[in-house]
Amino acid sequence: MTFPNPVPTGLYLDGGWRAAADGASLVVTDPATEERVAEVAAASETDVDAAVESARAGFAAWRRTDPWTRSGVLRRTAELLRAWAAEAAAVMTAEQGKPLAEATAEFLATADQFDWYADEARRVYGRTVDGHSTSQRITVRREPVGVVAAFSAWNFPALLPSRKIAPALAVGCSIIVTAAEEAPLSTQVVAAALHRAGLPAGVLSVLVGDSAAISARLLASPVVRKLSLTGSVPVGRILLHTAADRILKTSMELGGHAPVLVFPDVDVSAVAELCAKAKFRNTGQVCASPSRFVVHESIHAEFVDAFVAATSKLEVGPGSDPNTSVGPLSNARRVAAAEHLVADAVSRGARVAAGGGRDDRFTKGHFFRPTVLTDVPADAAVLHEEPFAPVAPVLTFADLDEALAVANGTELGLASYVFTGDLRTAFLASEGIEAGMVGVNTLALATAEAPFGGVKQSGFGREGGAEGVEDYTTVKYVNMELA
């Protein structure tokens, strides 16, 4: 159960860690201090090709491994991640910036993924079908799709890749994961747990480096049969075009712009405080984060006052400080993006009710004050671009139809939320929202036992729940005529 200290910084290939073939590396920096955290190997084309060959051999063996054995590896991985959670959280906070409590919670949620799919490994069901005659035997079974190429973002550097690794391994696939350049060490912790749990060589590879170059090389290989991405819409479009040329099985989680509909029959102060804490979790860098607060006009002023009061209580600082509730943004690009969203909204008539810019208490680090905007016009960028930043626009509505029109007014449809004490309103609102997930009187959606994913330009496919294994399998139908 001993935590791997130091965390491996090599490429995880063929059951071990190694330097890049050409000796290349990249530096990981702390977003709170902008100082060096580690230097990790950066994959070359030779390394990508080695990962593909290793995964090909790994798949040939792993697909023939019985599901109870696969389940045991996943279960032991979950146990290790839970035992390592505190030490692993410190690694994540240093490279990604989120507060230690959030990093710890992420590793525990990552363990849940492996625990859940340890069960699902033994429950990949097929069926029999009666045919036209008694001499027919029709069977339908699910088989592993093959070698998987997986890409995920830096905002949840342990959980996001594990949502792909766990179901892929459960059904018998091998998988090549490209860890996020900004925060690769957390993914390496997961790889170390799987290695310690007894995962055979070749079943998992972890690459770090230029994601565009790695993806092009991986997706050009005839060995790769499945693509899974958690990322932005523009990146998703590029990879979908590439996948279409190869006719690859594909699943995409491409971000969101989650509306929160707040009806007048709620405890306004309590809901506002809950919304503020959820919005600014991980400094607003959450694809399913509440990002547009659509509040009934009769309680709008009360909600804004309570939301601003709750926001002002949030402590901004380095994630390593136990008093911090909002850490730095992941990089300087995110700070510039946040500034753009605020400046654009203000130029169109919006009012800054809290925050509004960089936190000038810090001379280093990517700190931005949690920001609340009101009087936001419909054409403001913050209402259309995914606000991967601590910027919260508050809008109003007069009735359910208007609320739904606002909620459905973007091309994104990942998560959404409804707060009401009326059952009829809860049903009509949750049914009328165009999104893959709806939380009613809760802002907690991501959990291992439920399917996570979106509609419209938020992508397709599901991670989590019993549905999570489907994207890593193919259906084989056999019609046997008895001699």
- Give the domain CATH number at 141: 3.40.605.10
The candidate with the shortest Cα–Cα distance to 59, out of 163, 199, 192, is: 199
Any alpha helices (H) in 290-409, and if so which ranges? Answer: 300-312, 332-347, 400-407
Is 3 among the domain residues?
no
Q: Are residues 20 and 104 in the same domain?
A: yes
Residue 365 region, left (φ>0) first, then alpha (ψ -120 to 50), else beta?
A: left
Q: Are residues 208 and 329 in the same domain?
A: no
pLDDT at 1: 83
Q: Are residues 203 and 325 in the same domain?
A: no
- Rounded Cα distance between 1 and 333, Å, is 38
How many Cβ atoms are within 10 Å of 138's Cβ, its own excluded? 14
Q: Are residues 305 and 387 in the same domain?
A: yes
Q: Are residues 184 and 202 in the same domain?
A: yes
DSSP reduced 3-state for 164: helix
In sequence order, the β-bridge partners of residue 393 are: 373
Q: Are residues 323 and 212 in the same domain?
A: no
C-beta separation of 145 from 474 below 8 A: yes
C-beta separation of 255 from 386 below 8 A: yes
In sequence order, the β-bridge partners of residue 18 are: 11
Q: Are residues 213 and 355 in the same domain?
A: no
Is 5 among the domain residues?
no
| The overall pTM is greater than 0.75 | yes
For residue 314, give its domain range: 258-447
Is 428 among the domain residues?
yes
How do beta strands 204-207 and 351-354 pair? unpaired
The residues that are catalytic are 253, 287
- Rounded Cα distance between 252 and 151, Å, is 10
The CA-CA-CA angle for residues 24, 39, 78, to 5°, reads: 110
Instruction: Tell me the three-class secondary structure of 206-231, residue by residue.
Output: EECCCHHHHHHHHHCCCCEEEEEEEC
Q: Are residues 53 and 110 in the same domain?
A: yes
- Rounded Cα distance between 276 and 464, Å, is 26
Q: Are residues 373 and 465 in the same domain?
A: no
pLDDT digits (tens, 9 = 90+) for 311-369: 999 999 999 999 999 999 999 999 999 999 999 999 999 999 999 999 999 999 999 99
DSSP reduced 3-state for 15: coil
Query: Any idea what the CATH number is for the domain that residue 273 is in?
Result: 3.40.309.10
Is 452 among the domain residues?
no
Is 4 among the domain residues?
no
Is 339 among the domain residues?
yes
The candidate with the shortest Cα–Cα distance to 345, out of 356, 332, 329, 359, is: 356
Q: Are residues 223 and 137 in the same domain?
A: yes
Which amino acid makes up residue 85? A
Domains of the chain: total: 2
Which amino acid makes up residue 402? E
**CA atoms 167, 169, 173, 179: torsion sign:** positive
C-beta separation of 422 from 265 below 8 A: yes
Residue 200 per-residue DSSP state: P
Place of tokens 């084989």: 476
Any alpha helices (H) in 179-322, and if so which ranges? Answer: 185-196, 211-219, 233-246, 268-279, 300-312
Residue 314 per-residue DSSP state: P
Q: Are residues 178 and 287 in the same domain?
A: no
How do beta strands 258-262 and 415-419 pair? parallel
C-beta separation of 311 from 354 below 8 A: yes
The pair of three-digit structure tokens given for residue 202, joined into one six-digit string: 């070749």
pLDDT along the chain (483 residues), means of 10: 95 98 98 98 98 98 98 98 98 98 98 98 96 95 98 97 98 98 97 98 98 96 98 95 95 96 98 98 96 98 98 97 97 96 98 96 96 97 94 98 97 98 98 98 97 97 96 97 91
Q: Are residues 214 and 356 in the same domain?
A: no
Is 192 among the domain residues?
yes
How many Cβ atoms are within 10 Å of 315's Cβ, its own excluded? 12
C-beta separation of 334 from 389 below 8 A: yes
pLDDT at 483: 84
pLDDT digits (tens, 9 = 90+) for 27-85: 999 999 999 999 999 999 999 999 999 999 999 999 999 999 999 999 999 999 999 99
Is 1 among the domain residues?
no
